[in-house]
Structures are given as structure tokens and as C-alpha cells.
Amino acid sequence: MFSLEGITTAVQDWLFIKFNPTLALAIECVIVILLAITLFAGLGLVLVLMERKVAARIQIRLGPNRVGPGGMFQTVADTLKLIMKEGLTPDSADKFLFNLAPFIVMMVAMLLLAPIAFAKNFQIWDINIGVLYISAISSLSVIGILMAGWASNNKYSLLGAMRSGAQIVSYELSAGLAVLTIVVLTGSLQISEIIAAQQNGWWIFKGHIPAVIAFVIFIIAVTAETNRAPFDLAEAESELTAGFHTEYSGMKFALFFLAEYINIFIVCAIGATLFLGGWMPLHIGSWEAFNHIMDYIPSSVWFMGKTFFLIFVIMWFRWTFPRLRIDQLLNLEWKYLLPISLLNLLLVAVIAILGWHF
């Protein structure tokens, strides 16, 4: 199977030959940081354009079609516009927290990249508690949102931030329980081991009905956690102007906007890793010829293909379903998703103990 392992190994070997181990490790860290920033910028441009094109197709219109061929450079123009805009800070705001909030949200997104395996042996940090790390770090994003809403000294911002806090904390429970079903089936919290366990079939296929239920609950929960429609109560334009980032402009607003799309990519990457095998090709039991053909497709293509498929599904939700009321949103979690998740976890534990999965 083709992978990016050769590139990373060659770069590492060259650095350790040319420099002492400490300096080589420091240079590696700098390279990783630069690659992460480049990935964030590229994903922001691609996902915003993808959102607009998907919305246009669903609404039977063209979407961006003026800047560049087929509107390809529309997001570049928008980025230049945001860079040139003045970043205003309200006089009555808590200026330190107001300016810190967007960086907190972006830092959380960047930390979440660490355990994700983008291809075979192409991972920043293969920590043995990767799933726990992701669950713990992702919870910190709500701090940046609450900080932004409170520090703005604006009633709409505060209302949006409080809604977002309640929403994220609530739906984290169902998302966490959905993730636990795969942990129970695999018997490990390490991302590389979860992917390796899917060598003879992805968990969504060989985990029976509980894996499918967990996958559906996970997609609904992460859509709510990322404040995406139909769960975008935190920034409901018809009620709260723009919610927690009402007072933000220029690049500080751009950081919140970028963080939303980066978080969509991250949760979809996690979903693809846990349920759809991550970078693992589609293997079917003892079909050696079929499996061998699938191995010719690069692992990075498998990973990105699955991730962007889930991103498309989440975008499809946004342009299909109407926004829920805040009481409906919380009822969905506490009265339906959470009890179903608990029963599903119990069922998957029985299946794992008895060895009924494929």
C-alpha cells in the first residue's frame, strides 16, 4: 500500500544525520506546526467554497461563479477582505479576554490534530489514550465561546454563549457514548489500534446494529457540538444577530469562522477513523483479489475521501432541516439520544463479551 511514511522517514533520517538529536527534534516540531497552519488555511478555503457550492446545488442555483474559474477563488477574495478589515474592540468589553477568545478556540482545534492518523504511519502523536485525549481537549472549546460571549459585554453575545455552553455540554454525552461503543469493540483507546482492528472490515459493517446506531448518534451529536444548523442556536441570526461573535470583526471574526470549519473537519475525521476504518482500505473478509486491488489506492486518499463524505453529510443537514428551538434541541438530547446511547452501549458490551461481532 502506498503511504506518506516514506517521506516522513526520509525527512527524519536527514534531520538526525545533519543535526544533533535535540535540534533535530526542535526542527521537526517547527515543521509540524507550519504544516498544521498550512492545513488549516487550505481547509478553510476549500470547505467554505464546498459549503457554498453544496448549498447552491441543493437550492438549485449556481453559487459563487464570478471570482476565478467557476468561482474557485471566491474564498481567497473573502479572506483578503477580512484581512483588510479593521478589527474593532467595544469600549465596554473586557479587552484581554475579548482578544484571547478566538485564539483559545483555534488552539483547541490545533491540539485535536495530534492523534489523528491522516495516512498509514502518518500521525503527529500516536498516544495510547488517543480517544480520551480527543474527548478531553474538545471539551475546552466551550471555554473560548463562553469567554467571547461574556467579554463582549453584549446581551446577544452572552445569550449565544450560554446557549452554546448548554448545547455542547449536553451533546458531548451522546458523542462520548457513541465513541465508547467502538472502544468497547476494539478494546483500546489508541487510534492506531482502532484502525488496525478494522483491517478485515470497518466497524460500521462488522459491529452489527449497535455500531450503526452509534454512528447515527455520533453524526447528530457532533453536528450539534459544532453549532451547525439545524442546531445553530448559539448564532441564530433571526434571534441573536450573530450570537457569541456579534461584536467581532476582521481577523478575529475570521478565526471563529475558520475554527467552525476546522472543527467540522476534525469531528468528521474522528468519525471516519472510528466507524469507517480511517485510512484503512475497504477489505472484505477473505476476498484476497478484491482486497489487493483496494490496497493500490493510497491510504491518504481513503482517509480524505471518507472524511469529506461525512463533511458533505453534515452540510446536507444544514441546507435540508429547519432550525430547532432551544427546548427542542435539549429535549432531543436528554429524552432521546442519551437513553438510546446508554442502551446501545449496554448492548454493544454484551456483543463484545460474547464475541458476536464479525
In degrees and rounded to multiples of 5, residue 330 shows phi and psi of: -75, -35
DSSP class of residue 323? Answer: P
Section 46-60 average pLDDT: 92
C-alpha cell at 38: 498550512
pLDDT, position 237: 66
In this predicted structure, the answer to whether residue 274 has a pLDDT above a threshold of 50 is yes
Average pLDDT, the chain: 88
3-state SS, residue 254: helix
Give the number of other Cβ atoms within 10 Å of residue 328's Cβ: 12
- Exposure letters 216-235 (e unless 16+ CB within 10 A, then b): ebbbbbbbbbbbbbbbbbbb
Q: Is the entire prediction scored with pTM above 0.95?
A: no
Contacts of 268 (CB under 8 A, 6+ apart): 222, 307, 308, 310, 311, 314
Section 222-228 average pLDDT: 88
**Cα 109 to Cα 156: distance, rounded to the nearest angstrom:** 25
Helix axes 95-111, 250-275, angle to 10 degrees: 30
- Closest C-alpha to 105, from 170, 171, 161: 161
3-state SS, residue 87: coil
3 pLDDT band, cuts 50/70/90, is: low
What's the gap between Cα 107 and its chain centre? 14
Highest mean pLDDT out of 138-142, 183-187, 326-330: 183-187
Section 120-143 average pLDDT: 89
Strand 117-119 and strand 122-123: the pairing is antiparallel
pLDDT, position 1: 46
Contact 55, 315 (CB under 8 A): yes
C-alpha cell at 62: 449556481
pLDDT tens for each residue of 179-214: 999 999 998 999 999 999 988 888 998 888 999 999
DSSP class of residue 235? Answer: G
